[in-house]
Structure 1
């Protein structure tokens, strides 16, 4: 994912949510609707989340230091994980608490009846614009992947987070419109509480999905199958390397991949020949997979007699740790 595309989607979502949060809160003050309060808090949480994503992107651009020699690319994952926590606590749990409170003490909307409906309709229009921007930017990098696979496999967290937040916001607005509309139609404030509860459950589910997917990125994910295949082909494309003995890959950040491999070279080559060969292989890897910026290749002598078989791990390539 291009950083600029993710930033555009985050900024569009931030601007939309700030405006929506203000209008929703005014509507809550005028009507006392719990759905409007839950939606106000939801929009405030979303605005804060977009701020966290922007902060994470900025901090991730810091140069490497002796204490952090591989840089700060993973800060984007840390801040995306914080987004899931904020969405779960400030958004989901608050909405569920407010729903319980309003169900226990239901209140009808007795004044400014048209305000919540008008605000929700305007909010749906504004949120749709933000969602459309996120979809457009995602389509530029999604390729042929399904939306579910894109959200699960994307290494840059910003677009999946904004997509899920905007989707949740749109569905939450529909829930709020349902609760407010039924309250206005029946005079029973428990419909408002029911809409608030649906918003809370929705936000908790989205927060859990975000937390699970971001946790995987924080733990460290290897390259995708097509990237591994491209790296393997680049390594063995020339005469310098006889075979890959074993290989591991790791995303150091959304735009930086580390490749570490033990490769078999000819036993009769000089050290200078091996060094030139390694340089050529590294150049081919970077040409095939540009984000492979950190490459460690260890030359060794392959010996079939010393082969130790084992199943290949995801993102590792062939595991034939056969050296002497």
Structure 2
């Protein structure tokens, strides 16, 4: 999963790096507000990819006394930070630039360079989007896209996919803004396009923040995993009743499991120790992402 996530990030990083400078050059030559917003968008996306790579690197740090369950949630934190940056920087500056353009509209000179840059940007973004979509499709399996996003425990792939989708939509809006300004002579279309790009970025950021917030706070494992663990406890002879099974994602590839069970009083401690050790081993074998299993003995209500 981490390897696939890195490929997606590198593809997006290369694509955004190739077009960010050209967008700013085109904006400075033509004076297009929408093109300036797209340049800012690409710079923000490039920085976001670097932050996601930083998160993946930090998440690989081994557990220590201060962080006994490892640093897997670094991925969640930096994904949430990316959403905030998209909203605060990308959306904020694009909307500001659009409002400024509406207040002081100016003619777009040499619009052809904008069309060339936007066309090249669409090609580069299409490659990056395809890599992200392909990886996301592989991880989603037979689930619907909406359900896959809601249940995805590795946010990297869908964060990049949403970024690239917003980038493609932004390019289309920028193209329309420049084109409509040119053919109608109404310069407000360029400013409106810039504001629209900001709204697209803002909506994307809010959705990403919502999806990564739950992971950062602490989401349980998928219901299928929880039910599977409960089924395994039914086959443990020393357990009389399972009071609850709690799971927590400490990272995309790290699930913590706690089982609260009422053991038969006639079973001796050696048998209980043996059964719990066997149960723990079976759970980890069936679900490799489960790294730690804690079993607590408590009488049922």
TM range (shorter): over 0.9
Which structure 2 residues correspond to residues 11-26 of structure 1 after superposition, within 5 A?
11-26=10-25
1:174 aligned partner: 172
CA distance in 1, matches of 2:78, 2:57: 11
2:279 corresponds, among 275, 278, 281, to: 281
Deviation at 1:300? Answer: 4.0
Which structure 2 residues correspond to residues 114-263 of structure 1 after superposition, within 5 A?
114-263=112-261
SS in 1 for 2:264: coil
Runs (4+) of structure 1 exceeding 3 A deviation are none
Unaligned runs of 5+ in 2: none
CA deviations on 1:100-142 (whole Å, 9 max, x unpaired) are: 00001111112x2210011111111111111110111111110
Deviation at 1:90? Answer: 1.1
CA distance in 2, matches of 1:72, 1:120: 40
1:306 aligned partner: none
SS in 2 for 1:98: helix
- Number of residue pairs matched by the alignment: 301
Deviation at 1:230? Answer: 1.2
Task: Please say if 1:29 is aligned against 2:28.
Answer: yes
Unaligned runs of 5+ in 1: 302-320
TM-score (norm 1): 0.90
Deviation at 1:270? Answer: 1.6
- Indicate the RMSD between aligned Cα atoms, in angstroms: 1.2
CA deviations on 1:260-296 (whole Å, 9 max, x unpaired) are: 1112322122211111110010011112211111110
CA deviations on 1:13-39 (whole Å, 9 max, x unpaired) are: 111011111111111111111111000
Task: Please say if 1:57 is aligned against 2:59.
Answer: no
SS in 1 for 2:237: coil
TM-score (norm 2): 0.97
SS in 2 for 1:272: helix
1:104 aligned partner: 103
CA deviations on 1:41-73 (whole Å, 9 max, x unpaired) are: 000000100100000000011111111111111
1:134/1:162 contact within 8 Å kept: yes
More helix by share: 2
CA distance in 1, matches of 2:144, 2:37: 31
